[in-house]
Chains A and B, each alone.
Chain A
Amino acid sequence: MAARIQLPAEARRGELIEVRLTIQHPMETGFRVDAYGTRVARNAIHSLVCRYNGVEVFRATLGTGIAANPYLRFFTRAVDSGELEVWWLDDDEVEASARATISVV
């Protein structure tokens, strides 16, 4: 699953940083039928966690109410240089994660 995290490369200590995340995922609702008339099974990302240097800063429980290729934008405060990791899990029990680094000056 392709994903992209966008955040400023550099931030001052204590500054608010905006995290923008897009994940390539169909977020199947379970109500759609394919070209052959068979129902496409529900498959949506249901859990998503963002950790900053291992500490959880944001968590979301999503569902089929989220548009395909989910986009999320949230904030956190810059405390230390390091890594932001976003991890997610979908209904097919497929987990994936994306990382981005930030240097705090």
Chain B
Amino acid sequence: MSSLLPFATRAFAQANAHVSTTDPLIVSFTKGASVMPGRVRLDLPKLADSGFSVPMTVSVDSPMTAGDHVKTILIVADKNPQRDVCWFYLGSRAGKAEVSSRIRLNGTQRVVAVAQLSDGTFWSDARDIEVREAACTEPG
């Protein structure tokens, strides 16, 4: 039994570790396919003083050839009123699967990046970020 233990405790990458399979936004993108953690890298600061403008970089480990490239990248911020922050559509002409922008974040939350590759597989990464002053805080 003890010989089996290393296999049992090994940290296997769990499908859908960063996303919910019942989330309508995720389902509209993946059409029910499972999202594996890995290959995607989402770079966000650990702490943002202001949620009005947070630098964000997403990159995907892909050769970006005609036969093997990233098709779509989705950034999801669950606490934002509009949860899909942005969709990036790339192709083999992109050369490198890396996009940067500045995003708004409505409070401390987990931001998830989901990428769809040309072979139909989905990959994800998540980052927890602490936001001191949330965007959308103005009275209204």
Contact = CB atoms under 8 A, between A and B. Distances in A.
Given A39-B140, A74-B98, A75-B98, A67 B88 contact: no
A16 interface: yes
A63 B86 contact: yes
Interface stretch (A1-9, A50-58, A95-103): A50-58
A29 B100 CA distance: 21
Contact of A62 (B54, B81, B86, B100): B86
A29 B136 contact: yes
Interface residues on A, range: 20 to 34
Query: Chain A's interface: helix, strand, loop or mixed, by majority?
Result: strand
B39 to A, nearest CB: 17
Interface of A: 16-17, 29, 31-33, 39, 52, 55-68, 70-77
Interface of B: 52-54, 57, 75, 77, 80-82, 84-91, 93-96, 98-105, 135-136, 138-140
